[in-house]
């Protein structure tokens, strides 16, 4: 495998994009909106990130939904103002899911049109992990790095092969995302949290590994010790060696159009970042 690692492989891992370094030895936080809803919320989010020294975010414009009647994302229409606001607040990289090759052109066009200095990390979601034609398309371009989420109902090996589809077409700037697995055992969480696989993926491949505590846990509920589940599993993932955290925040979770119950509040951002720094020290 191009992305594979041998036990004595000492080559440096990862890549740099928009002045941000991604590797198996770095840690980047992508806090942001699961779905872009309106300019006010996007601006509040970006301002909170800038106030807390953050240069990366997540912003969903194209939302693959289980229910066809649920909000599907604003699509191309929101891209110009999202990129303008990102530029205004010094956001350098936005993780944004795409589900079709036409989205790639729409993103390129909006970046060109706005002249925003911000960059995009293309996210391939768990429902498209084995959409091989889409994987080949993002693999054939080298302009944007790719965050590939593991498939929630396939083996780890199959998901690693999906990453290899991207690399085999030429794009080696791939980050592997863990986002929980589906089980039929009625777990307390939305998905079975799979962050024990962080060191496994780092041992088997040269990819930086991302965790998505929000989609793994599915709710921001406080446990009996007063800590948020999302925060606790984030710490577990960081201690296991995660290199990137993709996490949902929202200025008003009750008004969020997608996944509000799992979004953390903006006032929790500094504490969330502090917890991450403590967990990182423990790694
Ligand atoms: C997301 O990150 O917005 C998302 C839908 O994630 P997943 O593909 O892991 O469900």
Ligand 1 atom closest to the Cα of residue 64 is: 5
For the chain, 283 residues long, the average pLDDT of each consecutive 10-residue run is 92 96 98 98 98 98 96 98 98 98 98 98 98 98 98 98 98 98 87 96 98 94 74 96 98 95 95 97 93
How far is ligand 1, taken at its centre, from the CA of residue 214, in Å? 9
Cα 218 from Cα 188, distance rounded (Å): 10
- The whole-model pTM stands at 0.97
Beta 20-22 vs 15-17: how paired, if at all?
A: antiparallel
Residue 13 Cα distances to 4, 84, 171, 199, angstroms: 11, 32, 14, 14
Residue 226: its pLDDT value, please? Answer: 65
Q: Which atom of ligand 1 lies at the shortest distance from residue 123's CA? A: 2
How confident is the model at residue 13, as a pLDDT? Answer: 96
pLDDT at position 223, please?
67
- Rounded-to-integer distance, Cα 168 and Cα 97, Å: 21
Query: For residue 92, how far is its CA from the centre of ligand 1 (angstroms)?
Result: 21
Structure tokens at 112: 């060109």
Domains delineated in the chain: 15-282 (3.20.20.70)
- Cα separation, 278 vs 140, in Å, equals 39
The predicted pLDDT at position 71 comes to 96
Residue nearest to atom 5 of ligand 1 (CA): 125
144 neighbors 121 (Cβ within 8 angstroms): yes
What is the 5 CA–ligand 1 centroid distance (Å)?
27
The answer to whether the CB of 36 falls within 8 A of the CB of 73 is yes
Give the pLDDT of residue 197.
98
Under a CB-based contact definition with an 8 Å cutoff, are residues 36 and 62 in contact? no
Name the residue with the closest Cα to ligand 1, atom 9: 126
The whole-number pLDDT of residue 243 equals 98
Strand segments (E) across the chain: 15-17, 20-22, 28-32, 56-58, 93-97, 119-124, 146-149, 174-178, 209-211, 244-250, 264-265
Rounded distance from Cα 125 to ligand 1 centre (Å):
5
Q: Round the CA-based radius of gyration of the chain to a whole number and report it.
A: 17
C-alpha span between 185 and 192 (Å, rounded): 9
Q: Give dist(CA 27, CA 217) in Å, integer.
A: 21
Question: 6 CA distance to ligand 1 centroid (A)?
Answer: 30
pLDDT at 228: 76
Which of 32, 33, 34 has most ligand 1 atoms within 8 Å of its beta carbon, as the pocket-test mutant?
34
Q: Which atom of ligand 1 is nearest to the CA of 246?
A: 2
Ligand 1 — pocket residues by CB below 6 A? Answer: 34, 60, 97, 125-127, 149, 179, 212, 215
What was the ipTM of the complex prediction? Answer: 0.98
């Amino acid at each position: 495998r191009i992305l594979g690692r041998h036990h004595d492989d000492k080559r440096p891992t990862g890549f740099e994009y928009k002045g941000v370094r991604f590797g198996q030895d770095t840690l980047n936080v992508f806090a942001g909106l699961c779905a872009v809803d309106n300019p006010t919320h996007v601006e509040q989010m970006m301002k909170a990130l800038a106030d807390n020294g953050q240069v990366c975010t997540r912003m969903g414009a194209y939302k693959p939904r289980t229910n066809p009647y649920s909000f599907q994302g604003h699509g191309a229409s929101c891209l110009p103002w999202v990129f303008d606001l990102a530029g205004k607040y010094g956001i350098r990289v936005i993780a944004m899911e795409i589900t079709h090759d036409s989205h790639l052109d729409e993103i390129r066009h909006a970046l060109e049109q706005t002249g925003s200095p911000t960059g995009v990390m293309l996210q391939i979601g768990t429902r498209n992990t084995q959409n091989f034609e889409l994987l080949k398309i993002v693999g054939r371009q080298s302009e944007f790095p790719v965050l590939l989420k593991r498939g929630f109902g396939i083996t780890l090996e199959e998901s690693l092969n999906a990453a290899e589809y991207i690399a085999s077409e030429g794009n080696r700037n791939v980050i592997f995302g863990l986002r929980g697995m589906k089980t039929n055992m009625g777990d307390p969480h939305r998905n079975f949290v799979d962050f024990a696989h962080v060191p496994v993926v780092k041992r088997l491949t040269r990819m930086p590994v991302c965790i998505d505590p929000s989609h793994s846990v599915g709710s921001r509920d406080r446990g009996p010790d007063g800590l948020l589940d999302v925060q606790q599993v984030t710490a577990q993932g960081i201690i296991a060696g995660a290199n990137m955290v993709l996490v949902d925040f929202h200025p008003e979770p009750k008004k969020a159009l997608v996944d509000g119950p799992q979004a953390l509040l903006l006032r929790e951002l500094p504490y969330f970042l502090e917890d991450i720094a403590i967990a990182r020290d423990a790694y």
